[in-house]
Amino acid sequence: RNRYFLLLFIFYFISLTCYQLPLPIDNTASMSYDGGWYYQLGETVRGTFVMKFLRQFAIILFVSFLGEILHILIPLPVPASVYGLLLMFTALCTGILKQEQVREAADFLIEIMPVMFIPAAAGLLDAWPVLQAIWIPVILITVVTTVLVMVVTGRVTQHMIRRKDRKEHDHAELPD
């Protein structure tokens, strides 16, 4: 729990420091694609992009912290990360947070997500003596649920695309 306070303090300190440092960039405001996520090549105000990125990451971290608080206060067997996801979803849906307020940091976190699974995989190696007796059901459940999630996600996405196309088609047919 204390790690969130420490991380918030570190990001606050870094954001103050980065704002004071002049960045060696020109006054253009173009976007470039580096094979991963979009990054800003130039800013008119020094440190603006760094500050924006740190602010967005701090917002995501704060919502995760609120999820930790809910996990402590609500006596349900729900992980704190699920509470944090629900809070972020609710904030985005209600307009409390705008996508622009967290977009770049969220894109970055999504891109580095595979790296986040390395500690979990290492933990599975440590838990092998416990999993050895039940590895076949675990693998079977993992494969079935992965396929199920892929199918449901694909169907929902297809439905949403068809609905959007239908709505655009209906608006295009309206007389002027």
DSSP 8: H
Question: pTM for the full model?
Answer: 0.56
Residue 35 has pLDDT above 80, yes or no: no
Q: Sorting pLDDT into bands at 50, 70 and 90, what band is 43?
A: very low
Instruction: Say what the pLDDT of residue 57 is.
Output: 87
**Which residue carries 């996990």 as its tokens?**
71
CB 11 within 8 A of CB 78: no
Instruction: Say what the pLDDT of residue 55 is.
Output: 86
Residue bearing the bigger pLDDT, 174 or 124: 124
Instruction: Say what the pLDDT of residue 152 is.
Output: 97
Tokens for 174, please give them.
């309206």
Tens digit of pLDDT for each residue in 56-99?
Answer: 888 999 999 999 999 999 989 999 999 999 999 999 999 999 99
- Residue range 1-27: average pLDDT? 52
> d(Cα 12, Cα 75) in Å, to the nearest integer?
31
Tens digit of pLDDT for each residue in 102-126?
Answer: 998 888 888 888 877 887 778 888 8
